[in-house]
Chain A
């Protein structure tokens, strides 16, 4: 029974973690967006994804 409880907890944990990452939009930014980088010298553009402003 303990093994089953551990397995259920593990599965719920994985789904929960995936849900949190999904809701946070982690790694969901589009490629090829030129964006300013916070604190970058001169506030210029760089090619990358995420971390806008």
Chain B
């Protein structure tokens, strides 16, 4: 679509030019001869631009479309280039005009089109200096309108092509120092040109809607490169629900595992006896639905001791037998092993007697003390909490997967940043 036009003839070359930009246009640069005309002074020639390579952009002067319900017309084009460390970045800014909403920019870079407007609000702090960027340990940040913006990139750009109408006086000799900071849904540019500092906010409109509205020929649109930092990919609510559910379930499972591990009742304790004595410890199992835990303690210190245990029932018939070692070593800042050894059995209801005797012991470490005392204890109704731990790990892995996906998505937004943590 093309808006209703007024026309004038270039005062330098006589070419017919469309007047699209409203009453605050200061400059009109002829598309044919590159003459810069003063729109406030009878279109007198104030400068002459030559040898300007035309940039690749799908927008032409006079195209109009709707953004967030507001009609805008493309009135000017400035192509920019930035050189740094042997690399070149280039982008094209189109000044757009709305009779009701004034002036703004459509920018084409890396296959994305963004919408930028100046803001009169001043962020805190108002500036991010080059020195701050060089010396800061973390990304510099500013706050504006309750939103936090983190440093994304900075540089100095020069125009390489100027055409059409502008509400300022552009020049090929201009340079623009910019610092770009990234917020959640918008970018903040701090632009310094001479002694003037301006602030601009950039949004990423729905690309399909924008291109359709402006009637852009898709074949002229550069292919998008990397993901745009404002391309915030909203995750489906069900995914967030599942993430929260998984994290909650993991916490509940681990908490239950802890509670379950405390279950059990101590039904018999031998008390500490010399290792030369054989322990005879009777006990009763009242429920076969859980485990019975037999704990052997010994005061072996920087040494080891070996114990033989046998379990008989009421009729003195052997039920189980096992051997367990206790070994414990320690230094000034380390320890290894334990003075306790646990054995878990599944026993039916009934009366049992545990026989325990030390069969062997030795000191094999400097300053070791051979085991001289031992104790046996029996706990019934013991659970196996590892099932709940496993459930916690499973749910935790699912939650962590979603969190990692979110983190990956965030890091994708920052992939084009020139910030280096080093």
Contact = CB atoms under 8 A, between A and B. Distances in A.
Question: Size band of the A side of the interface?
Answer: 20 to 34
A30 B289 CA distance: 16
Given A27-B384, A36-B318, A22 B257 contact: yes
Contact of A35 (B289, B319, B384): B319
B291 A25 contact: yes
Contacts of B347: 52-53
A25 B290 contact: yes
Contacts of B245: 7-8, 11
B308 to A, nearest CB: 11
Nearest to A23: B383
A33 B319 CA distance: 10
B388 A25 contact: no
A28 B253 contact: no
Interface residues of B, number: 41
Contacts of B387: 18-19, 21-22, 26
Contacts of A29: 291, 344-346
Contacts of B320: 33-36, 52-53
Contacts of B383: 22-25, 28
B386 A14 contact: no
B256 A25 contact: no
Contacts of B289: 23-25
Given A15-B249, A15-B391, A22-B257, A28 B238 contact: no
Contacts of B238: 3-4
Interface of A: 3-4, 7-8, 11, 14-15, 18-19, 21-30, 32-36, 43, 45, 50-53
13 contacts: A14-B391, A15-B252, A18-B390, A18-B391, A23-B383, A24-B289, A25-B344, A26-B387, A28-B344, A33-B343, A51-B346, A52-B319, A53-B348
